[in-house]
Structure 1
Amino acid sequence: MNEILHALFSTEGFVLGTLVPFLFVLTVVVFVHEMGHYLIGRLCGIGVKAFSIGFGPELIGFNDSHGTRWKLCAIPLGGYVKFVGDMNATSSQPSAEDLEALSDSEREVAFHTQPIWKRAATVVAGPLFNFLLTIVVFAVLFSVYGRPVLDPMVAQVTAGSPADKAGIQPGDRFVRVDGSTVETFADVQRLVQGRAGDAIAFTMLRDGKEITLTATPVPMEQQDALGNKIKVAVIGVVNSTELGQARIVTYNPVGAVGAAIEETGHVIQRTGQFLQRFVVGREDKCQLGGPIKIAKMSGQAAKLGFEWLVQLVAFLSVGIGILNLLPIPPLDGGHLLFYGVEAVFRRPVSERMMEMAYRTGLLLVLGFMGFVFWNDLFGC
């Protein structure tokens, strides 16, 4: 019995070592996303009936002075904001009968009776708040811990590697990668790691002269700090702390925010690039993970320290933001697609078309969820 309790409740056990960090990460990301919908909706004069973290039976909750029910539900895998006039948690278009059933005061603040720009602003606020959360996390981390950097130097070249075949030599300095200027070795890695199989032009500084060489990165399986086996594209060069002049760059608050915005942009770009390559079959399916993988990563991050856990929050927040912007009902991007069509044709999408789109979109979303669960349990 003692061994079972230790396995469950010690800091390395399932509850404290994995479940609590996972719930912390997921709750923060979901809360910020839904808070974006809530705040902008309220700012636009839309009434809010419920703000929920989780789905299913309510565990605890309370009503605020505006009549909004704030609640925590039993299944903590998501959340929602239910506006006045919503018939369900997806904010899908209610029927004419449902709208007629609203009182005059409810109809005035109902989500679906608002101008397109108010509805669009409320919907897009969720993903934008996710990106804002990532910026805030990076800004705090850069302010507190600084940022370790290496100059973009080549200390070693692996024999037979793409870099070796391209003619890159020890002592070379990366200047540009496919036209993008690089200032650190991390910049080079960022521009290369998601492009296995693509021919990339590298502008190098050698003996005071710039030369351009072309190399095609190859995928290599590595293990990251959180224990994940990941495939990244490499060209076979290694830096060193001496040649790269390893140092910690410190930031004042303004500089930290600027660096955080830049880093968030890089994360968004890499995530979008990964999704594009994944759709056409150029990325390993095992790079996608669901709740089980995120839970394992959360536990490992917690062991490494709180700063690792909040970094995971930042990266997951970007992923949630981008996924929600995909133009698939019932995701936020699906709503935005309908509003775009409504703006162009000056009338809402028909109930029949919307119902078909929601059913198809829901099947796609459920299929994707099933796919990542399979990956977590059996596929990888």
Structure 2
Amino acid sequence: MTVIAFLGAIGPLVFIHELGHYFAGRLFGIKSDVFSIGFGREITGWTDRRGTRWKIAWLPLGGYVKFAGDMNAVGEPDAAWLALPAADRARTFQAKPLWQRAIVVAAGPVVNLALAVLILAGFAYGYGVDRTPAIVDSVIAGGPGAAAGLRQGDRILSIDGRSIDSFSELARFAQIRPAEQVAVTINRGGHRFVRPLTIGVERQRDRFGNEYRIGRIGIASGSPVLAPVGLLEAPIAGVRMTGGIIRGTFDTLGQVISGRRSIEELGGPIRIAKISGEQLSLGWAAFVWLVAMLSINLGFINLLPVPMLDGGHLFFYAIEAVRRRPLEPRVQEWAFRGGLAAVLALMLVVTFNDLGAVGLWQRLAGLIG
């Protein structure tokens, strides 16, 4: 089930991502040499009438579209494109105007984010949107909220300057900030107060044995309020939900960079596969929700300004737009090498973390002991 769930989640997301690049390229008359799902040796494939080789490779951890004029799968330009006949050269990626190249590169992540919006809009339409007001219904004795002086009936207006519109938004803010000190702005009887608060730490274990360290304020809301969402309003709700998830991703990434969150929490393909199997066992709704989360993360990560990733290409294009000429080939080559080294180093770290998450290091320690 884990393998099936992993391939069922990652495969379509990679295909849709690369399809965004492919169709944007076709829109501007760029020839695609290869469309690959996976890396490495080809398992099966075919060549269409446009000369594109569609293939499935043995390592299903991504994919790529190799356009005419590219040296390799990561889009590094090939100097040989200048020697092509004029008609062929006009169909290469490098021959297109800067704005067209930027659209082609951005199309993959944009399609992933659009898919997530569509899925989350479906959830909003089917289940409604949580609009439980951020009003304290009860305070847990001895908890962080009680220590901060929160009382029943207080309305949480903001926390650390971030506006709070619903109780679920407050809970999400706290969950990813265990043990952090924050300032809470409340409305009590028409008067505004600011209270310092240290978010509590709670360790949880789910039914699959996964352990989590999450933040808790120690307050509870009243009865949940689920507002129905119409068909026309659902996409707007999907955009808002996607935006909230991206904001949370930025927050957690910032915590890792600043050292407030352990790098051990970073996961890779093995952990994604494990979680995919777990969510599929909980039902299709949980699995589809996971697919939306993965689609957001795939789009977000690819927009980071790292050479080899789509965001790295867009960063180069931004420099080209300012300089009125592209970066020198040697500079781009070294940037791609640096990006490759960074991605490989990250893969080693997350793979080490993943093997620990599935208990390999613990079992090895038991055997040695």
TM-score by length of 1: 0.88
Change beyond 3 A, Cα 1:227–1:271: farther
Determine whether 1:231 maps to 2:213: yes
1:199 CA drift (Å): 3.6
Moved more, 157-166 or 36-45: 157-166
1:132 CA drift (Å): 0.8
Q: Which amino acid aligns with 2:85?
A: S
Decide which of 135, 140, 150 is 1:153's aligned counterpart. Answer: 135
Residue matched to 1:128: 110
Give the Cα separation in 1 of the matches to 2:334 and 2:196: 48
2:74–2:308 contact (8 Å) kept in structure 1: yes
Moved more, 43-52 or 363-372: 43-52
Change beyond 3 A, Cα 1:175–1:184: same
Give the Cα separation in 1 of the matches to 2:208 and 2:230: 29
Count residues in correspondence.
358
Q: Which amino acid aligns with 2:48?
A: D
2:303–2:311 contact (8 Å) kept in structure 1: yes
1:201–1:213 contact (8 Å) kept in structure 2: yes
Determine whether 1:343 maps to 2:327: no
Decide which of 79, 100, 108 is 1:118's aligned counterpart. Answer: 100
Moved more, 365-374 or 80-89: 80-89
Give the Cα separation in 1 of the matches to 2:13 and 2:62: 9
1:374 CA drift (Å): 0.2
Determine whether 1:21 maps to 2:39: no
Give the Cα separation in 1 of the matches to 2:241 and 2:277: 24
1:163 CA drift (Å): 1.6
2:24–2:107 contact (8 Å) kept in structure 1: yes
The RMSD of aligned alpha carbons is: 2.1
1:57 CA drift (Å): 2.2
Decide which of 13, 30, 40 is 2:24's aligned counterpart. Answer: 40
Secondary structure class of the residue paired with 1:112: coil
Which structure 2 residues correspond to residues 46-125 of structure 1 after superposition, within 5 A? 46-95=30-79, 98-125=80-107
Moved more, 323-332 or 255-264: 323-332
Residue matched to 2:149: 167
Change beyond 3 A, Cα 1:363–1:30: same
Residue matched to 1:293: 271
1:28–1:313 contact (8 Å) kept in structure 2: no
Give the Cα separation in 1 of the matches to 2:280 and 2:178: 31
1:55–1:76 contact (8 Å) kept in structure 2: yes
Change beyond 3 A, Cα 1:273–1:181: closer
Give the Cα separation in 2 of the matches to 1:179 and 1:276: 17
Decide which of 277, 286, 289 is 1:308's aligned counterpart. Answer: 286
Instruction: Mark the runs of 5 or more structure 1 residues left unpaired by the alignment.
Output: 1-16
1:86-140 deviation line (CA, Å, top 9, x unaligned): 1211110212xx2244332221010112111111111111111111111011011
Identity %: 41
1:151 CA drift (Å): 3.1
Determine whether 1:328 maps to 2:298: no
1:37-96 deviation line (CA, Å, top 9, x unaligned): 11212212221112111112222323333222222222111000111111211110212x
Moved more, 251-260 or 141-150: 141-150
1:372 CA drift (Å): 0.3
Give the Cα separation in 2 of the matches to 1:253 and 1:227: 38
Q: Which amino acid aligns with 2:19?
A: M
Secondary structure class of the residue paired with 1:215: strand
Give the Cα separation in 2 of the matches to 1:339 and 1:367: 25
Change beyond 3 A, Cα 1:237–1:225: farther
Secondary structure class of the residue paired with 2:325: coil
1:263-282 deviation line (CA, Å, top 9, x unaligned): 00000111011111111211
1:197 CA drift (Å): 5.0
1:55–1:74 contact (8 Å) kept in structure 2: yes
1:150–1:247 contact (8 Å) kept in structure 2: yes
2:43–2:56 contact (8 Å) kept in structure 1: yes
Give the Cα separation in 1 of the matches to 2:226 and 2:51: 50
1:153-189 deviation line (CA, Å, top 9, x unaligned): 3243334433222101234332333344433210111
Moved more, 83-92 or 174-183: 174-183
Give the Cα separation in 1 of the matches to 2:345 and 2:352: 10
Give the Cα separation in 2 of the matches to 1:252 and 1:224: 34
Residue matched to 2:203: 221
Q: Which amino acid aligns with 2:243?
A: G
Q: Which amino acid aligns with 1:272?
A: F
Change beyond 3 A, Cα 1:199–1:285: same
Q: Which amino acid aligns with 1:81?
A: V
2:265–2:353 contact (8 Å) kept in structure 1: no
Residue matched to 1:353: 331
Change beyond 3 A, Cα 1:225–1:47: farther
Q: Which amino acid aligns with 2:275?
A: M
Give the Cα separation in 2 of the matches to 1:289 and 1:206: 42
Residue matched to 1:6: none
Instruction: Mark the runs of 5 or more structure 2 residues left unpaired by the alignment.
Output: 360-369
Q: Which amino acid aligns with 1:77?
A: L
